[in-house]
Amino acid sequence: MAEKQNMKRMKELIQILNQASKAYYDEDREIMSNFEYDKLYDELVDLEKETGITLSNSPTINVGYEVVSSLPKEKHPEPMLSLDKTKDVEVLADWLGDHAGILSWKMDGLTVVLTYENGSLTKAVTRGNGEVGEVITNNARAFQNIPNKISYQGKLVVRGEAVIGYEDFEAINAALPETDAKYKNPRNLCSGAVRQLDSSITAKRNVNFFAFFLVEPEDPELLKKLGNSFEERFIFLKEIGFDVVEYKKVNSGNEIAGAVAEFAEKLPENAFPSDGLVLDLDDVAYGKSLGTTAKFPRNAIAFKWKDEQQETVLREIEWSPSRTGLINPVAVFDPVELEGTVVKRASLHNVTYVKDMQLGIGDRIKVYKANMIIPQLSENLTKSGNSPIAEACPVCGEKTVIKNENGSETLHCPNPECPAKHIKEFDLFASRNAMNMDGLSEATMEKFMEEGFLHSLVDLFHLDQHKDQIIQMDGFGQKSYEKIQESVENARNNATLAGFLYGLGIPGIGAQNAKLIARYFKNDMESILAASKEELCEIEGLGEVLADGVISFVKDEKKIQEVRALLNEINFVQEENNAPQDLVGKIFVITGSLETYPNRDALKKEIEDRGGKCSGSVSAKTSYLINNDILSNSSKNKKAKSLGIPIITENDFKKL
């Protein structure tokens, strides 16, 4: 009977794990957390050991899934196996023993194999299913930091990870139109960017490549230079122009705990996503002599952070509407401390997740931080299942709709006029770089929407009509109301046209482009509304795509009606700019703490007033990186050094 139950459970686990892997690798979506996957995977491994049976479709022996796209396919010369893994530092140390090793980030993106011949990049192929990948050579040439030509003239094959940084991920997500679904994480965005059919789209996604392995070269002279050291291969790759994953050499297992702790400290500040560490044997020949198992090479092992868990009590499930109409469930629980911070909320992903976890108010649950950053539920200990799915949208009251999307149920509000679908528009309009309505947070405006005070942006200027109700609301009062009104009146009488333009949410028009437009049209809104595409394209730095966004906006009668109504409410101040235009054509990136400026916005304003531009990430177009810590080993400093871009302090900037 026990054997029958074990076999039944194994089949269940294989089906669940294969479905999760297919979703993750082939469809760029997640149906379970890494924590859940690892837990189920380990359970399957234990059952296979106990029964002595391994089924042919088990994920413990299969590597990945078939690639589905119209990109050309190519078989790898030898299978690209995944790595065995552990969450135990002691196991990692024991694995290394008395040998030297290279500990590096396990970056969370898409593995790509590059081939160079006669000093030129000739081919780039994704890992795919480990056996067959997709040819993405043109897209790889559009990566931010891949050398298209190298000094070494022999054949060279380099494996690495294509990744998109957190800053670029957030900027790209923020720029997506309201109707587009946001990317869940940088890996999903990167996977889509790398596998585009149009390389120009890849170029806009700021994909970076970090080399983590040099396939053994055939050239005896190069082999002689590299010797038998894995680290020497990293050094060589850096010498010929590659960015390599950040690594640390450890001389034995005794040094592992300290090295892992060093990486853990850097994790919260990491510019690029990672989901653990990789430990390679530094002795290449010895590692090669160990061979492989059916699925894993024996010369390397992966380490995944052992998630700190805390038990707590689920107090509420909030159903939070978004501007796409999707209503996301959020767990609210008694506060617990995880990885040094207090946590009291965690995403529950979708309806299917809530049902599968059998969540109910008052349940005892376990929570953790995925990759030490994102709060997640790991287990429901009591499984009362008494929490109903919201039948009405919590903002507009419209009856909700459950949709089945790729095997997962999600909750939606079908009302196109639901204020929640416009909350981000309100939040942007009231933000500091727009109308600067300091007293109006997103949470406050959401409450006002729920009470029916806000339907359009113009309503922000007429909150005095609801004075008595606002004063009586929980968390408000006379002083809160007065602060809000003071903020609204300040916006009414001290707004700039550039801030107003930015606050309208015109596709692609950020704070800097809004200033360029306002300056070009001499702060005349009527001229902007009447501008042709040709006129807009004359503005340096705007381009056709952004010009099309402006034209599309001004042709929308409903939006222009709202703009006209807003113009009747606002008295713009004329910004005088007598600053010398000595930074025209210069692009700056600002990082680190400031000493003489109150905040980054103040420094950005001075740069823009002097004709310069600011960017969030370092690229070949960057003129200067401003960082008071010039000797820092931050990713931006490293990138600037690799591109030969000057790193200057605030005082250096003032001397320009």
The residues assigned a catalytic role are 106
What is the DSSP code string of 146-181?
A: --SB-S--S-EEEEEEEE--HHHHHHHHHHS-TTSP
Q: Is 379 exposed, middle or buried (0-12, 13-18, 19+ CB in 10 A)?
A: middle
- Helix, strand, coil shares, percent, the chain, to 5: 40, 20, 40
Q: Print burial letters for 65-84: b (CB count within 10 Å at least 16), e (below 16).
A: bebeeebeeeeeeebbebbe
**How far apart, in whole angstroms, are the C-alpha atoms of residue 590 and residue 4?**
62
Residue 313: both structure tokens together = 């009590």
What is the DSSP code string of 402-451?
A: EEEETTEEEEE---TT-GGGGHHHHHHHHSTTTT--TT--HHHHHHHHHT
Q: Is 600 exposed, middle or buried (0-12, 13-18, 19+ CB in 10 A)?
A: middle
Residue 432: both structure tokens together = 């500091």
The one-character DSSP state at 392 is B
**How far apart, in whole angstroms, are the C-alpha atoms of residue 625 and residue 591?**
8
Contacts of 402 by beta carbon, 8 Å cutoff, 6+ apart:
351, 389, 409, 410, 411, 412
**How far apart, in whole angstroms, are the C-alpha atoms of residue 624 and residue 621?**
9
Cβ–Cβ under 8 Å, residues 410 and 351: yes
Helix (H) / strand (E) element for 247: namely strand 247-250
Q: What distances in angstroms separate CA 449 from CA 440, 453, 503, one per listed residue? A: 12, 6, 19
Q: Angle, nearest 10°, between helix axes 34-51 and 2-26?
A: 140
Other CB atoms closer than 10 Å to residue 489's CB: what's the count?
Answer: 13
Q: What distances in angstroms separate CA 186 from CA 174, 200, 372, 569, one per listed residue? A: 13, 19, 16, 40
Other CB atoms closer than 10 Å to residue 56's CB: what's the count?
Answer: 7
Tell me, letter by letter, the H, E, C secondary structure of 302-368: EECCCCCCEEEEEEEEEEEECCCCEEEEEEEEEEEEECCEEEEEEECCCHHHHHHCCCCCCCEEEEE
**How far apart, in whole angstroms, are the C-alpha atoms of residue 208 and residue 142?**
10
Residue 576: both structure tokens together = 């005088």
Q: Which of 181, 452, 131 is nearest to 322 (CA)?
A: 181
Other CB atoms closer than 10 Å to residue 386's CB: what's the count?
Answer: 11
Q: Which of 296, 303, 16, 15 is nearest to 130 (CA)?
A: 296
Helix (H) / strand (E) element for 266: namely helix 256-266
